[in-house]
Structure 1
Amino acid sequence: MSSTTPTSTPTDVRDDESITIVDPRDGTEVGTLPCAAREQVSLAVSLSRSVQPEWASTSPAERGAALRRAATALRDGAQELADLNTRETGKPPADALGGVEAAVSTLEQYAELGPVHRGLSLRGAVTATDYTVAEPRGVAVLLTPWNDPVAVAAGLIGAALVTGNTVIHKPSERCPHVGELLGRLLQPAFPDGVFITLTGGGEVGQQLTTEADVDVFAHVGSSDTGARIARAAVLTGAHVIRENGGNDPLIVDADVDPVWAASQAALGAFANAGQICTSVERIYVCRAVAEPFLAALTEEARNRNTGGSFPPLVDRRMRDAVQAQVGEAIEQGAVCLEGGAIPDGPGAHYPATVLSDCTETMTVMAEETFGPVAPVTVVDGFDDALRLAAAGPYGLAASVLTGSIAHAQKAVAGLAVGTVKVNAVFGGAPGGSAQPRGISGAGFGYGPELLDEFSLVKVVHISAPPQEG
């Protein structure tokens, strides 16, 4: 193992004109794509605005049929898109294909939900009719992430289009080829200008936030970027939907099997190399089970590191950021039980890492790491764990492993997050949708409620005319 970054492998190159991506598994070049120029961005917004009224006047059933055509095209191109995702982000092949399959299902679901997205009847005078109708907001700009680029994008695309909005999609600059191919697969299902893909870096996204003809932004990504979008939207009046960073805690109660708890912690911290919005980012374990829990968690990490199939981080820029947090924690007194150093060789690999003796002042506990790091703090009891888990500015999700219904209920009430998961770090019923808190975002980003986010409600009141005589 080496604590320095190798220099023999090329890294991703970005400027205002093009983006070159390398495979994070071995450093080989994936390809280069041009960035949208300023005039292209403005023209895209103008085109999207010009065709939006006609798309809005299309019946919901027809819009749903277009989504079903898009889902079919995506299914036909699933393997090609998954392979490209693996090459561009390092996502394991099975997970990459699973993300595409989830995207197909999501488009099909919104194709069904859109036509039945209904208003309300209101109680008024007996001789009057009062009701609400949902109307599209207008032009929707979707800024999507690299860690699950197809599934996340499909949800936003499907909900925006089926409610009558036109869409400009800017995929992450860390996976522009995936975004470009996704656009080529989906675009033929819709009339010209209804669905547009723009590739580019932060400068493209920044320009989009200044365009007065954009009515709604949906952003999945970092809290810093989300905050900038929200501030810009104050000037343009655009509606903003954000699912942003998380620093999700995991509480391990004193009454659970420590080996099972370690397997859950490892799944939450190491799946997709820790590059999931709701990854476990910090762990609070009760002292009664801390020793066997740490031993089992260390073994979980070691098995991943020696198994030969642990995925890389998306690029070396991300790896350097993860290593900086780990190195700082060790300097400040954390004990590294497994991993914790950049390996020799090509690509952007980083080992599954377990840190014990962590404190709240360490960046690895206070901020989102977005890498395969499991930092652990031992606490005297559940109340201490809950107090620490509830602290901080993030509010995306949290997990609690406990055999006590009282402790579970206490956690649900005491954690200011969008999602609380009890006795499972991942999972949930289909269609679940939560509202993040704090700097983790705002608005519903998934599920049937996402249709409401992309809609405006109009109240209609119809009275009978006065009778003559």
Structure 2
Amino acid sequence: MTSTPVVSAVGAQTFDSLDPRSGEVVGSHPVHSEADVRAAVGRAEAAARWWRGLGFAGRRTRLLDWKKVLVGRLDEVARLITAETGKPLDDARLELVLAIDHVDWAAKHAAKTLGGRTVPAGMLGANQSATLRYAPLGVVGVIGPWNYPVFTPMGSIAYALAAGNAVVFKPSELTPGVGALLASTLRDAVPERDLVEVVTGFGETGAALCRAGVGKIAFTGSTATGKRVMAACAETLTPVLIECGGKDALIVDASADLEAAADAAVWGGMANAGQTCVGVERVYVVESVAEEFIAQVVAKARGLKAGTDFGPMTMASQSDVVRRHVADALARGGHAVVGGEDSIRGTTVEPVVIVDVPEDSSAVTEETFGPLIVVNRVPDAAEAVRRANATGYGLGASVFTGSSSDGESLAESLRCGMVSVNGVISFAGIPSLPFGGVGDSGFGRIHGEDGLREFTRPQAVARQRFTLPVPVTSFRRTAKHMQTMIGLVKARHGR
């Protein structure tokens, strides 16, 4: 994902959010100072104590109430998403539908995932009762992105809340209104406390949140900004969850359903104007089916129109990145089969598909975050996997093949956090699956059981039930005692 720039400020204490389609002011929001952020964290700490005291059952009830409020206010929130990002209204609605499903799953699975349980104590702990529990961290700081201003941060917010934490949420400066409205929907469902405190502003506000003493920071954004977040959090040893960008590949094997693969490539690469961290940016298609596949991609991509099928570049400077990547791909021998350099007109970028691009081109090595797809031919699926893995990123990937066993094998060979087989971005819509990457794409997981545990601290408890005849952890232990213990170990583990 890309770094967020300073948007037009109307004064030292406020700034405007703008509609990227028209430049019109959507709303004005405060620039929260370090003192403001610390005050928000203090309020959240008090709310967290109350929230934790409700237990899993009380939190479940209130989170399911929040889900109902989100459903009731769906169009209101979607319209604001559209105003601040420029994406089509139905795309905003889809984003909310996915987020609502995650709230539901987190609320219903927190108790089973995080509740205390007994675990085996082992031979040396035969006299112990061993239990494991997951305690909330208290307050979780969430720094969200602008491309999916509800769905992406909700993967942290809903799971952190279900785990018993309160949240301080710093939305992107491009979508502050969405963050504020999201918090207000929770307030409708849980009027007793403000469980999500929203702080708005620029990078300084986010840095203040990193240093404010929260239990954890969950960040989504660019790799470069993620490194700065980690550096700020290191000052206070605040743990971090980092979800950065990707350069996700789609592999098309010779046995694949080419129409389905082409449809997935175009939607995965062009939806949300390509501004999707797990969107399709590279396609590797086996040579024997490349011509037919490319023809289908061209037919589908040429039918799309910026401003109708997807919105503009939400962040104006992103157009420059797309322009640079297109120019480099073409200058290095790539062939544009859809669009080209003329497709980029300000924040409006029409679909671009370029084939046969050198692997060291910036269009292949760097995250584009725009409606550009690179399609390269490979001799076989093994080479496709090698090229897909030849990057520092490792977020998601897609594989299309007619063989289920080949699909599983190819997925296992990919160095990334998530894979869709015969689909694209499917994993993001399944609440039980963890979401996150490796390498330059970050670390830690949201969603699923791993996402719930991400916002807790495990606590191990060993309770002695009776005294062992061999005093292992005592100065009363003798050589004879050790002989007995070694004999037991050999009998149990030496065979």
Is the counterpart of residue 26 in structure 1 residue 22 in structure 2?
A: yes
Structure 1 residue 185: deviation in Å? 1.9
Is the counterpart of residue 214 in structure 1 residue 214 in structure 2?
A: yes
Alignment partners' CA distance in 2, 1:342 and 1:77: 40
Letter in 1 for 2:450: E
36, 50, 66: which one pairs with 1:70? 66
10, 13, 38: which one pairs with 2:8? 13
After the TM superposition, which residues 319-358 of structure 1 pair with which residues of structure 2 at under 5 Å, given as runs?
319-341=319-341, 348-358=347-357
Is the counterpart of residue 120 in structure 1 residue 121 in structure 2?
A: no
Deviations along 1:89-131, one digit per CA (max 9) or x if unpaired, are 0122112112223322322222222233323312346664321
Corresponding residue number in structure 1 for 2:134: 134
Alignment partners' CA distance in 1, 2:381 and 2:101: 39
Structure 1 residue 370: deviation in Å? 1.0
Corresponding residue number in structure 1 for 2:461: 460
Structure 1 residue 343: deviation in Å? 5.7
Alignment partners' CA distance in 2, 1:68 and 1:360: 48
Alignment partners' CA distance in 2, 1:330 and 1:344: 14
Q: 1:129 to 1:141 in 2, by over 3 A?
A: same
Alignment partners' CA distance in 2, 1:65 and 1:258: 46
User: Secondary structure at the residue paired with 1:49?
Assistant: helix
Q: 1:354 to 1:344 in 2, by over 3 A?
A: closer
Is the 2:7–2:173 contact (alpha carbons within 8 Å) kept by the matching residues of 1?
no
After the TM superposition, which residues 280-295 of structure 1 pair with which residues of structure 2 at under 5 Å, given as runs?
280-295=280-295
User: Secondary structure at the residue paired with 2:305?
Assistant: helix
Corresponding residue number in structure 2 for 1:439: 440
User: Secondary structure at the residue paired with 1:13?
Assistant: coil
Corresponding residue number in structure 2 for 1:47: 43
Q: 1:190 to 1:226 in 2, by over 3 A?
A: farther
Alignment partners' CA distance in 2, 1:98 and 1:36: 31
Is the 2:445–2:451 contact (alpha carbons within 8 Å) kept by the matching residues of 1?
yes
Corresponding residue number in structure 2 for 1:8: none
Is the 1:16–1:201 contact (alpha carbons within 8 Å) kept by the matching residues of 2?
no
Deviates more, 1:258-267 or 1:218-227: 258-267
Is the 1:354–1:373 contact (alpha carbons within 8 Å) kept by the matching residues of 2?
yes
Is the 2:434–2:446 contact (alpha carbons within 8 Å) kept by the matching residues of 1?
yes
After the TM superposition, which residues 156-175 of structure 1 pair with which residues of structure 2 at under 5 Å, given as runs?
156-175=156-175
Deviates more, 1:195-204 or 1:69-78: 69-78
Is the 1:215–1:237 contact (alpha carbons within 8 Å) kept by the matching residues of 2?
no
Is the 1:342–1:349 contact (alpha carbons within 8 Å) kept by the matching residues of 2?
no
Is the 1:341–1:351 contact (alpha carbons within 8 Å) kept by the matching residues of 2?
no
Structure 1 residue 41: deviation in Å? 1.1
Deviates more, 1:402-411 or 1:38-47: 402-411
Is the counterpart of residue 105 in structure 1 residue 101 in structure 2?
A: yes
Letter in 1 for 2:111: P
Q: 1:299 to 1:437 in 2, by over 3 A?
A: same
Structure 1 residue 393: deviation in Å? 0.6
Alignment partners' CA distance in 2, 1:83 and 1:268: 23
Letter in 1 for 2:459: K
Structure 1 residue 210: deviation in Å? 2.0
Corresponding residue number in structure 1 for 2:488: none
After the TM superposition, which residues 250-289 of structure 1 pair with which residues of structure 2 at under 5 Å, given as runs?
250-289=250-289
Is the 1:393–1:438 contact (alpha carbons within 8 Å) kept by the matching residues of 2?
yes
> Which TM-score applies when normalising by structure 1?
0.90
Structure 1 residue 408: deviation in Å? 2.8
Corresponding residue number in structure 1 for 2:393: 394
Deviates more, 1:132-141 or 1:431-440: 431-440
Structure 1 residue 405: deviation in Å? 4.7
Structure 1 residue 465: deviation in Å? 7.6
Corresponding residue number in structure 1 for 2:225: 225
Is the counterpart of residue 380 in structure 1 residue 392 in structure 2?
A: no
Alignment partners' CA distance in 2, 1:403 and 1:419: 20
Alignment partners' CA distance in 2, 1:227 and 1:438: 12
Q: 1:275 to 1:259 in 2, by over 3 A?
A: same
User: Secondary structure at the residue paired with 2:367?
Assistant: coil
Is the 1:134–1:456 contact (alpha carbons within 8 Å) kept by the matching residues of 2?
yes
Structure 1 residue 218: deviation in Å? 0.9
Alignment partners' CA distance in 2, 1:248 and 1:372: 13
Alignment partners' CA distance in 2, 1:234 and 1:403: 47
Q: 1:31 to 1:263 in 2, by over 3 A?
A: same
Deviates more, 1:381-390 or 1:107-116: 107-116
Q: 1:263 to 1:326 in 2, by over 3 A?
A: same
Is the 2:99–2:154 contact (alpha carbons within 8 Å) kept by the matching residues of 1?
yes
